[in-house]
Structures are given as C-alpha cells and as structure tokens.
Amino acid sequence: MRLLVLSLNTFPYPPSHGAAEVRTFNLLRQIGPLHDITLVAHQTPNATEANVQTLKKWVKEIKLFPLPDKKDPQDRNPLKQALRLAQFVITGTPPSVTFRFSPEVYTWVTQQATTGNYDAVICEHGVNEMYVHPQLCQQIKTVADIHSSVYGWVFDHLEAGASENPLRDRLYLPLLARYEKRYCAKFTHLVATTPDDRAHLQRLVPDANITIVSTGVDLETSPYRSHDPGGQSLIFIGAMDSSHNIDAACYLAREIFPLVKQRYPEATLSLVGTRPVPAVKELDSLPGVTVTGRVPSITDCLQGSTISVVPLRAGLGIKTKTLESMAVGVPVVASDRGLEGMEVDIEGVPLRELRANQPEEYVKAISQLFEDVALRQQLSENARQMIEAEFTWEHLGQRYEQVLSS
C-alpha cells in the first residue's frame, strides 16, 4: 500500500525524546518494509539531514515543512486565557492544536490524498487530525493512531485532583468532548492504546471502528538484567515536566517514601527523568531522595534499582515506564493507572507485579519485596515473559498491519 503518514507534532527520530516519538518510530520501523510510506513532518531541530537519511531506511520519502511562526498558547495572562477559550468555543478546536496549524501542509495533504497518489492517510497522534479533510474518509482509508484521548486525559486529571488548572479544565471538558467526537468521525479506523482509552472514545463515538494496538518495548535497548542488586533502592522514571509525572513524583516523595523510610532508614529514592520543574527539584532536599534530571542511560538506572515504583494517579494510556521496568526485570509496584492495559495480577495469569493505590498499600508492597528475594525474582521473570509475549514492537506491528489491511 501507498501510505501518507502525518507526524507534524514530532519528528520521530531519534526515538529518545518522548513516548510519541518512540511509538511512531517503532511502528514505522515495523510496517515500513511492507509499504511505500511518505512521512510528513515539520522541520524541527531533530529533523537533521543525518536523521532524515537514517529514517529513510524504513520510509520511502520524507516531506518536511517549516514550523509555523506562532507562539505556544501557554501564556497565563488572564485576558489571553479568556481569548483562547473564546477561540475554542467558536472554532471547536483546542488552541493547543491550532497554534501549529499550517495551511501549506493542509493544502498539500488534501491535494495528495485526493489525486489517487495514496491508498491511506495515517495520523500518528490525534493532533494531526487537523490536516485531514472531513470528506476524505469517503475516498480513501483514513486512520488515526490517537496515542491518548485528550478528553479522557483531562477528565482523568480532574478526577485524580492532578489538574494544574481545574477551573480551566472544567470549562474545557465539554468542548473537548465535542472536539474529539467531531474529529474521530473523520476516520474510517481509530487506534487506541488501552481498553480505557477505547472506552472513552466509544462513549463519544459509539459507531467508531476502534482497534487496540498497545505501546511496546525494544528488547535490544531494554535487556534483562543479569542479577538482582538487592538493597533498598526505589526508582521512579519519567519526563519530570509532565503534569501526571510531577503529581506522581511529589506524591511518592512526600506521602509514600517517608513511611518507607520509617521502616527502612537506609532506603533511597531516585527520581529520574528530563526537565524537572521546580516542584520536582525541591524534592531533592528530602532525606534519601535524589532528583537526577537527564541521565545517560535509563536502563542502567533501572537495572541498579531494587524496585520501580509507578504511583501515577492520572494519565491515560499504557505507561512506557512500567513496560521498560518489566522488560529489564525490575519488580514493579504500581497504581491502577501505572498498570493500565496490562494483566499482571488477575486470576489465571502468573503474578507479574504488585498493585497499590494508597500510601499504606505501597508501603506493604515495597516491604514485601525488600524482604523477599524469591518474590522479587518471581515477578522479574514473569514480567519479562509477558513483555516478550505481548509487548514487543514486532508483535504490535503485526496488529497495526491488520488495521491497515482490513
């Protein structure tokens, strides 16, 4: 098939700058040999000549457009916030989507897609929907790999008390539902990463054709660790400027870890990830807590830790941090959100990780693993087996291919 793949929100190489890049790159790598792919992206700093040439190992052509000269709509000036809300009401599209809209890209995509040059248009990430004409689905296959429901994301943050601006988000929520319902109707196929995301989308668009294709792990870059390091070291990984990770880091360091520290005075907690905001940096002053910022190798940090803790209270979608921990063999204690999309502790499957949602539940689970080497090894082996069977990019690429060929 001749595929036109839109990834204007991010240039997907190298796959080391975030979950969107990782997912888009690895799915392209899997389906690339089977199709003639034209990738459409913006000329971001990552889109160097060297990176373009490397990415052409998997895609036939890369069409780059200049970034629109527009300001990011994050200005907290009350008047500007009110204007953005008014714009959202009138246009039906969030300002966070429209600020990067390029009429040049829209015209080019529409022309290419309607002249018989391609068999399908694929949006990698829902924000790229703005380049798909509403009537296009009547002519060719249109696929949206949504990555995460924006309505579900905001709703989830409000429910968890993790919203940075609850008043704004409550005002936005019905508008986001309207927006997501409208744009999902433009596609013949939708791809979600978890059952929860699919349920959110199904409520908005009951007749939508939705397939779950999870996010995966590259086993070459996440090798199984050679030994259990022992000790009493905890780790939480993630981009430390994302609202759900900020909330989780503060929750872990301020409400959970002090209770662990009372039982295990030698215990340590490492908060590992890029771009820590001031609220996260402040945690470095707490006893036993280290905020590392960017590190050369997340894998090395994971392999040297006793337990990976994923105390997320918000954020939809399958969590790469959980998958990577499981892949390298680090036992995981995680919340319902941290284990979303994974069967780890249900009847009929081997116990793969421990679940916790309240501080005392985290302390109990962490204590179990600190004290029981055999349990740590059991979870380590079972989790790795699950990753190898269900969450490799090769396996997920086959599911994605089924969507394209259906």
Distances (CA, A) of 163 to 20, 44, 243, 385: 21, 29, 7, 36
Domain-wise residue ranges, the chain: 2-216+393-405, 233-390
In whole angstroms, give the CA distance from residue 74 to residue 162.
18
- What is the average pLDDT value for the chain, to the nearest integer? 92
Residue-wise DSSP of 153-175: HHHHHHHHT--S-HHHHHHHHHH
What pLDDT, in 10s, does the model give residues 171-225? 889 999 999 999 999 999 999 998 888 988 999 999 999 999 999 999 999 999 9
Instruction: Decide: helix, strand or coil at residue 340.
Output: coil
Give me the phi and psi of 332, to 5 degrees please: -115, 135
What pLDDT, in 10s, does the model give residues 135-158? 999 999 999 999 888 888 888 888
pLDDT < 70: residue spans in the chain: 17, 70-76
Q: What pLDDT, on the 0 to 100 scale, is given for residue 388?
A: 96
Question: Rounded to a whole number, what is the largest CA-CA distance in the chain?
Answer: 68
Question: 233-390 has which fold?
Answer: Rossmann fold (3.40.50)
What pLDDT, in 10s, does the model give residues 27-67? 999 999 999 999 999 999 999 999 999 999 999 999 999 99
The proportion of the chain whose per-residue pLDDT surpasses 90, expressed as a percent, equals: 74
Give me the phi and psi of 139, to 5 degrees please: -110, -45
Residue at 122: amino acid letter: I
Question: What's domain 2-216+393-405's architecture?
Answer: 3-Layer(aba) Sandwich (3.40)
The proportion of the chain whose per-residue pLDDT surpasses 70, expressed as a percent, equals: 98
Predicted TM-score of the model (pTM) = 0.87
